[in-house]
A and B are shown apart, each in its own frame.
Chain A
Amino acid sequence: MGLGNLSIGGMITTRLDKAIGWAQKFSIFQYPFITACCGMEYMAVACSHYDIDRFGAGLPRFSPRQSDVLMVVGTISHKQAPILKKIYDQMCEPKWVVAFGVCTCTGGFYDNYATVQGIDTIIPVDVYIPGCPPRPETVLDGLIKLQKKIAGEAVAPANAGATSTSMDV
């Protein structure tokens, strides 16, 4: 292990990543895209008994431009799919997507002409929370997994290498 690797710049960026990741994971502004049954469990998670606020994700923003986690809660039908895509496109980077409930993961037992077989056919997904609907504990577990993912992501290199792939609008 040479001293060269511990250059000042490298150390600062890794530390910065950690700090930003730590800060980001506890200030999740979620956009609940609620369509169906899972919304009931979403309400239960958000309210007093299970209290999602303990994990720093207590404040839903109902505007895609102000939120960084898109929670897709409930079945997505073919009629709904273009709207979901549009909402996702309107969100600013960095953004994450949580598939809440088995309908969003795979389509669940709605294998039919009207239902999208998993939202990952439309938009990228970071965390899948299975269950029909998932129990609040499962949701919180999924949220913690997302927080780990957020904390582990490198922020600085992406900024440093400003080759900008997503900005060519």
Chain B
Amino acid sequence: MIVEKAIKTQPMVIQLGPSHPAMHGTIKIVVELDGEVVTRADVEIGYLHRAFEKHCEEGTYFQAIPYTDRLNYVSPMICNFGYGMGVEKLLGIQVTERCEFIRLIMSEISRVSDHLTSVGASAMELGAMTAFLYMIKAREFFWELIEAACGARVTVAFVRIGGVKADLPEGFGEKARRAISEVRQTLKEVDGLLTKNPIFTDRMQGVGAITTADAVSYGFTGPLLRACGVNYDVRKYQPYHVYDRLNFDVPTGSNGDNYDRYLVRMQEIEQSLRLIEQALAKIPPGPINVDLEGRVMAASEMTDRGKLGDTQGLTDYRAFLSPNLQGMEKSRYQLNNTTDKNVALPPKESVYTSIEGLMNHFKLVMLGHGIRPPQGEVYSAVEGANGEFGFYMVSDGSDRPYRVHVRAPCFPLMAALHRMIEGGMVADIVPTFGSINMIGGELDR
């Protein structure tokens, strides 16, 4: 008591960031401290503003796709599909059933890798380096899947308006199941390391909490809102792809603190793995090289047998050579892309072998031609890893989007960061910031 009266504290202003050890991603937080307690915080963003929305207006509808990869660069597939769905809504077209399944599988793979990164990074910021290494190891298995499907690890550009770039490669299901079991194993290990670890729980429980009313009024979505007990998930409330045909739960918390956010993310990973498994089992088959008994047969093997003179019966086989990019041959391509010639780029097989295909390609990619959605505006949302990821698009009837606006899930979360850290300790800023999983690309665009 006497000491408290004797020492008068003065408020101190400290600037955390933009380049700070524990700030993965660049933001600036100016905090006013009373001892170690944060009394006021001011968050500044915008250090990664790179004019995404302006670029979309400058190019054609296709040319915006690579930029969408770099919005949420931890789960780029979801941003891709969000954009694709937006343009499809403008055009009023449907994609094929197989395409919906492919999109769902790839979205969930991305969501898992996002959550793995986010949980790993926030654990690392509390000093749990091991958990981070484990999580990134697990993420690598999933990135190998993404690479197998689209050829890139991070910046995928997998979506096409009215479809996807290519069909899933052969043997993808088997590979995916192996990766899932690896991830499950890792999750078990990390769960053992963190969930009941007193060092971890003491730093996380009751820290960075926000009330449900505040979360709603700030427009929270995603894991942070669900940690407050609101079960809003775009996948359940306004199902897209084929989410309404598969079983999954929406995990919720109750306290709205960092620990609940961690639990929600961990449970969501499991739900996503469930979704991938179900989708892999239910995905409608596409024609691939099969022999007379219906077994899968590689085109190369078929050629080899032909060379050896074993041509008996081969004439009855349906063989599809991939002349260039795997998964883009006509038969498979048409299964996961819309057949609307005004929208979907034709398969490369047609482009290189027929004048019709070449003209079709030409008409779609040349400047001043391209796809031309009718005048109008749409808002289309997907459930990103951080919450509702929305695209608001305006078309003026030309081949370029008149306006593309991204509703980034991080944005409202960061707007409320000061509410979560005020009244807490300085040391709690970092885990709270980590629990938001701020992604500069989608925050600043």
Contact = CB atoms under 8 A, between A and B. Distances in A.
- A–B direct touch in complex (beta carbons closer than 8 A): yes
Interface of A: 33-37, 39-41, 43-44, 47-49, 62-63, 74-75, 77, 79-80, 83, 87, 109-110, 112-115, 132-133, 135
A115 B155 contact: no
A37 B346 CA distance: 31
A63 B51 contact: no
A44 B143 contact: yes
Give the 6 A-B residue pairs with the shortest CB-CB distance, closest first: A62-B21, A37-B73, A47-B136, A112-B51, A49-B140, A110-B50
Nearest to B20: A62
A36 B49 CA distance: 10
Contact of B21 (A44, A63, A135): A63
B21 A47 contact: no
Interface residues of B, number: 36
5 contacts: A39-B73, A74-B48, A75-B50, A79-B49, A112-B51
B433 interface: no
Contacts of A74: 48, 440
A48 B51 contact: no
A112 B55 contact: yes
Contacts of A39: 24-25, 73
A87 B49 contact: no
Contact of B137 (A48, A114, A132): A48
Contacts of A115: 50-51
B21 A79 contact: no
B107 interface: no
Contacts of A83: 18-19, 26, 47
Contact of B441 (A36, A87, A132): A36
Contacts of B70: 36-37
A113 B51 CA distance: 7
Interface in B139-182: 139-140, 143, 153-155
Nearest to A75: B50
B48 A36 contact: yes
A151 to B, nearest CB: 29
Contacts of A109: 66-67
Contacts of B136: 43-44, 47-49
Interface string B47-77: 1111100110000000000110110011000
Describe A's contact surface by its main secondary structure.
loop
A133 B155 contact: yes
Contacts of A110: 50-51, 55
A37 B137 contact: no
B391 interface: no
A116 B444 CA distance: 16
Contacts of A48: 133, 136-137, 140
Interface string B66-90: 1101100110000000000000000
B19 A41 contact: no
A77 B139 CA distance: 29
B48 A77 contact: yes
Nearest to B147: A135
Given A47-B132, A77-B47, A37 B441 contact: yes
A36 B133 contact: no
A47 B19 CA distance: 22
B46 interface: yes
Contact of A79 (B46, B54, B73): B46
